[in-house]
Chain A
Amino acid sequence: DAMVIQNPRYQVTQFGKPVTLSCSQTLNHNVMYWYQQKSSQAPKLLFHYYDKDFNNEADTPDNFQSRRPNTSFCFLDIRSPGLGDAAMYLCATSGRGPGRETQYFGPGTRLLVL
């Protein structure tokens, strides 16, 4: 029944050790998003894909990369995590429609950097 699935739900990594977060969706939506959400803050958009077209937000650090090998899967790579990268990472999807797009969020991956 799950529509947007994120793995793992919790990830602990060491300072500077690369980490990959994954997202999959069963909605067949063409748009996928990665957000970073820190405690008591608004979700911050890092990347989004329209189909395979990758779009990077201007203020997303170079340390963050993303891959979307097919419609269903999307990955977030953090090449050298710093303490400031500890956060909840949210994946979301939306379908293309006239006028508006409704986002469906996954449960998130909580990243802890030691």
Chain B
Amino acid sequence: QKEVEQDPGPLSVPEGAIVSLNCTYSNSAFQYFMWYRQYSRKGPELLMYTYSSGNKEDGRFTAQVDKSSKYISLFIRDSQPSDSATYLCAMSATGRGNQFYFGTGTSLTVIP
């Protein structure tokens, strides 16, 4: 079983829709959770960083962690064509960069 599972999509939504992206994991020791956005042929950029459980909001983005279910989500409100990218989740038990476990990414297209 993979440490981190992420639905690869592709996911296609109309502009203005609410998008929900999800990852599940198997290691109950994970306590640092991240979402990265990766545009085509570019490196990943950090969107959200959450420690332990709960919600974190930043503009149109909300990250949610449910440790009891081993499930994390990223919600995008009022989605824009510029949100079209691949979204990678990543997580770690220690917070150390050499011990990040990445998902395979979900490809999102927002249609104008």
State in angstroms the CA–CA spacing of A3 and B102 once bound together.
22
Contacts of A105 in B (CB 8 A): 36, 43-45
Please give the residue numbers on chain B whose beta carbons come within 8 Å of chain A beta carbons, in ascending order: 4, 8, 32, 36, 41-46, 49, 51, 88, 95-98, 100-105
How many chain A residues touch B (Cβ–Cβ < 8 Å)? 26
Contacts of B88 in A (CB 8 A): 42-43
- Across the two chains, which residue of chain A brings its CB closest to B89? A42
CB-based closest 6 A-B pairs: A105-B43, A100-B95, A42-B102, A101-B97, A94-B97, A48-B98
- Across the two chains, which residue of chain B brings its CB closest to A32? B97
> How many inter-chain contacts with C-beta < 8 Å in the A-B complex?
59
Question: Knowing A102-B46, A105-B45 touch, does A40 contact B97 (C-beta < 8 A)?
Answer: no
Contacts of B98 in A (CB 8 A): 31, 33, 45, 48, 55
Q: Does A74 contact B (CB under 8 A)?
A: no
Distance from A21 Cβ to chain B, minimum over Cβ atoms (Å): 13
* Sample (16) of A-B pairs whose CB atoms are under 8 Å apart: A4-B43, A33-B98, A41-B104, A42-B88, A42-B103, A42-B104, A45-B98, A90-B43, A92-B97, A101-B97, A102-B46, A102-B97, A104-B46, A107-B41, A107-B43, A108-B43
Q: Does A68 contact B (CB under 8 A)?
A: no
State in angstroms the CA–CA spacing of A77 and B70 once bound together.
38
Of A31, A43, A45, A101, which is within 8 A of B44 by CB? Answer: A43
- Across the two chains, which residue of chain A brings its CB closest to B103? A42
